[in-house]
Amino acid sequence: MVERKVRVRRVYEDPQPGDGMRVLVDRIWPRGLTKAKAALSEWCKDVAPSDELRKWYRHDPDRFAEFARRYRLELNDSPRAETLAHLRGLASDRQLTLLTATKQPGISEAAVLADLLRT
């Protein structure tokens, strides 16, 4: 089994030399951020959770486990599954940094994706 190099960071943080490919995984563009400042390699908004799931979750730490379970189920559906496969390909031979605008990236969709991509 290959251990993929995947990290999660806030898109508002300055890019770091070790970021490798920087991929935004939020459906909505981050408020007040220019494309130049974001320094993205790609924006994979199709992998983001549904609006219904995102609104139910509201980044409530008590709901994270259930959010992660529901989100993993959503990732089986196209086009999310196709985008997840694309991210797996990106992570197979390089450092991949998943970016999100949330203030708590450790309990975000990016964290769920990183966990999936590392295995």
Q: How confident is the model at residue 119 (pLDDT cuts 50, 70, 90)?
A: confident
Residue 21 and residue 97 in contact, taking contact as beta carbons nearer than 8 Å: yes
Give the pLDDT score at 39.
96
Question: What is the C-alpha to C-alpha distance for residues 29 and 32, in angstroms, rounded to an integer?
Answer: 9
The predicted model scores a pTM of: 0.94
Question: What is the C-alpha to C-alpha distance for residues 88 and 13, in angstroms, rounded to an integer?
Answer: 24
pLDDT surpasses 70 at 64: yes
Give the pLDDT score at 3.
60
pLDDT surpasses 80 at 8: yes
pLDDT surpasses 80 at 58: yes
The mean pLDDT value for 97-116 works out to 97
